[in-house]
Amino acid sequence: MLNKKEQRLRRSRQTRQRIANQGVARLTVFRSNAHIYASVISGCGQKVVASASTVEKDVRGELNGKGSDVAAAALVGKRVAEKAKAAGIEKVAFDRAGFAYHGRVKALADAAREAGLQF
Confidence at residue 47, expressed as pLDDT on a 0 to 100 scale: 92
**pLDDT tens digits, residue range 72-84?**
999 999 999 999 9
In a domain, 119, yes or no: no
Domain hosting 104: range is 4-114
In a domain, 86, yes or no: yes
CA distances, 82 to each of 17, 35, 52, 65 (Å): 26, 20, 10, 22
**pLDDT tens digits, residue range 10-43?**
999 988 999 989 889 999 999 999 999 999 999 8
In a domain, 18, yes or no: yes
Which residues have CB under 8 Å from 3's CB, separation 6+? Answer: none
Q: pTM for this structure?
A: 0.90
Pairing between β-strand 25-31 and β-strand 92-95 as defined by DSSP bridges: parallel
CB-CB contact of 17 with 26 (8 Å)? no
CATH number at residue 27: 3.30.420.100
Q: How many separate domains does the chain show?
A: 1
Reading phi first (left if > 0) and then psi (alpha if -120 to 50, else beta), residue 64 is in: left
Mean pLDDT of 48-65: 90
